[in-house]
Amino acid sequence: MNDPLKKYIKAHRDEFDSEVPGPAVWEHISQRMTMTSAVRPLRAFRWGMAAAVTVLALISLGLYFQDRGDHSRRVPPPIQTDTTTEASYDQEMGHFSQIITIKYKEIESIKATHPELYRRFTADLQKLDQSYQELKTQLPGQANQEVVLQAMLQNLALQVDLINRQLDIIEQLKSESHVQPVTHI
């Protein structure tokens, strides 16, 4: 306690505490407190609004400049016909067509012996072939030709699978006809 002011306040403490401010002072303090409490929320609200507007403006600017950037994500690439892809599809379709032709000749072998079965077999194959021909006519007008080409290949594969099943049935018929009935004596 080297400070003389502190010594003086400590020595005369009772004299300071005895005096009470007048009602006018208390009224003035009360008015300032109500005014300050009303001003503070208003100031806080203004600062909050300013912060919200700033954040909204920054987000808008960010989206605006991001949108002006790379448009390649939204614009589809131009349609290009890859001649190597078309050539490979043509080659596969030719391969399937050869297999279908060869196997169909085997089916024709039952034309005389089982005409009804032959008619059913050819009707099923004609349905698949008709579907193939429709795909073939749709091909030039399609934007995504690769999808149509894949559908055409799938159709040809189905035709080969169907012919193989039909040939299995023919083989079963032939093996049953070679088995001679056993007669019991």
Look at residue 128 and tell me whether its pLDDT is greater than 50.
Answer: yes
Q: Are 110 and 118 in contact (CB under 8 A)?
A: yes
pLDDT at 70: 47
pLDDT digit string (tens) for 36-93?
A: 555 566 677 778 888 888 888 888 877 777 755 544 434 344 444 455 567 787 888 8
pLDDT at 67: 57
Winning range, highest mean pLDDT, from 33-37, 63-67, 161-165, 171-175: 161-165
Rounded CA gap, 134 and 130, in Å? Answer: 6
Residue 154 amino acid letter: Q
- pTM here is 0.48
Give whole-number Cα distances, 63 to 50, 59, 68, 72, in Å. 20, 6, 9, 17
First to last CA, the chain: 142
Q: Which residues of 133-145 are buried (b: 16+ CB within 10 A; e: fewer)?
A: eebeeeeeeeeeb
